[in-house]
Chains A and B, each alone.
Chain A
Amino acid sequence: MSESSDAENRSNRFDRLPATPAEREVPGRVARSEVLDYWADRYGIPSETFDQKTFWEKGAGKIWVVDGDHPSPIAVEGLGMTCLRTRQEFWKPTTDFVQRFGELATDCVVVLSDDEAARFMSGDEQAVAWDGDWGYLIAARETAGDAVPLGVGLYTYGTLDSMVPKGRRR
């Protein structure tokens, strides 16, 4: 198994995550059960949300969520959407994932005012009032009566740092 990150990032090979850590064959690859536990434990997103979804790794630590199942490995340009960065101390959800599934979260959601949300979408760091867990939070704003996710922010020492990628800033 070549683990050279350069070669892996260029490859179009997606591998399905093993169901549980006990079935792990590739060192460092996270298991489906661990991903479901992460969404449930940190964000309160129910595991049943993903009953029809499968999770895949392409390149070291980049996890994709896909509807239904496929042969593994599969060599294609894209499979579903990126959802999570693993193989680092703190796992990091993607903007696209929290926009798609983050409305189901009950924890680690910081609701921003429109002014704060505008700063967040321009990629800035800002002081916010938050007394929950530190680390990656779902940043949301209130619209049509709901708290609707915008993206991921890294909260430390009273500051929320926007993780919105360049292509999604405004």
Chain B
Amino acid sequence: MGVNPLDRYESLVDDPTAFRAACDRPLPTTVRVNTIKSSAERTRRALDDEGVAYDPVSWADDLLTLPDSSPGDSWAFAHGWLHGQEEVSALPSLALDPQPGETVWCACAAPGSKATHTAALMADQGNVVANDSSLGRLSALRHNAQRLGVTATTVTRADARSYSLNPFAFDAFDRALVDVPCSCEGTVRKNPDVLTEWTMDHVESLAEIQTDILCRAVQATRAGGIVVYSTCTFAPEENEAVLDRVLAAEDCRVVEWDAPAGLETDPGITAWAGERYDPQVERATRVYPHRNDTGGFFCARLEVGA
């Protein structure tokens, strides 16, 4: 039996006992309202009509928690008005702040929660290029995008590290959302196995892939464009350390973004395991489970060149 990786983070959090206790609790069930098909207000009325209980999420109008049902149980879901999505996983699309009509790359998009959220924030106008390397996961993405009624999308299958813009008429993206494969420590409340499967070797090999994908995203985004990097893990090796390497290799900087009011977050860390990182990484956002009763998350907003 290896060590529990969560032990590593006790020195980072304000309240280690609360952190560990939250990681042991199951996650609340949350859904996102699909604003492509219905407003948050109308959807709440529909849920009232059919007697499905929900609670608002304080920091986002279009997120609801379901105290005693599963996402797929309601008529609202059958109409394609709801999508099961963990609360914190709505953060990267908000940090990206995409605008209608833009061309946005979701480099690792399957099964499509953030890509469809991104399209919804664009009022389904423009082009969300949803890419993934896994054929099986792409079929889940296509199913979700269709069900939610997204027309502003192109789906591609490629390795994001060497992504080519050849099929397209444009030569750079306005924005990119880089929601990389990671060690998923922050999903422990949903899937405790992530802890037993954890190895430092795996973390290190992921960090290499993450760095390569983020570099490619910075290169493929126009000067002045925005790239959001996100993971659902606490490991600084996959978070701040990746940013640190990309800042050194590519023309970009980490910029401030205001996490939604009501969501308690922590800044990125600038030192870990004897290494020091570029001070800009402090502008990144950490979300620990005990602060808002959510999963764990990491998110940074970068501006490209110029």
Contact A81–B155 (Cβ < 8 Å) = no
From the candidates B37, B75, B153, name the one contacting A80 in the complex (CB within 8 A).
B153
A99 to chain B: which residues have CB within 8 Å?
A: 37, 79-80, 147, 149
**Closest B residue by C-beta to A121:** B78
Known: A65-B151, A170-B72. A70 touches B168 (CB 8 A): yes
The secondary structure that dominates the B interface is: mixed
Q: Check if A21 is an interface residue, CB within 8 A of chain B.
A: no
Which of A27-35, A40-48, A137-145 is near enough to bind chain B?
A: A137-145
Separation of A121 and B75 alpha carbons in the complex (Å):
10
Contact B155–A78 (Cβ < 8 Å) = yes
Q: Check if B49 is an interface residue, CB within 8 A of chain A.
A: yes
Contact A68–B126 (Cβ < 8 Å) = yes
Separation of A115 and B171 alpha carbons in the complex (Å):
52
* Interface size in chain B (residues, C-beta < 8 A): 38
Contact A100–B37 (Cβ < 8 Å) = yes
Contact B79–A71 (Cβ < 8 Å) = no
Q: Check if A79 is an interface residue, CB within 8 A of chain B.
A: yes
Q: Check if A52 is an interface residue, CB within 8 A of chain B.
A: yes
Contact B149–A100 (Cβ < 8 Å) = yes
B154 to chain A: which residues have CB within 8 Å?
A: 66, 70, 74, 76, 78-80
Q: Check if A87 is an interface residue, CB within 8 A of chain B.
A: no
Q: Check if B8 is an interface residue, CB within 8 A of chain A.
A: no
Separation of A68 and B125 alpha carbons in the complex (Å):
8
A sample of 6 more A-B contacts (CB under 8 A), given A81-B151, A100-B149, A143-B79, is: A68-B152, A70-B168, A71-B169, A76-B154, A78-B138, A117-B75
- Kindly list the 7 A-B residue pairs having the minimum CB-CB distance in the complex, ordered from nearest: A78-B155, A100-B149, A67-B152, A144-B45, A144-B46, A77-B155, A80-B151
Q: What are 6 A-B interface contacts by the 8 Å CB criterion?
A: A75-B167, A81-B150, A81-B151, A121-B78, A143-B50, A146-B42
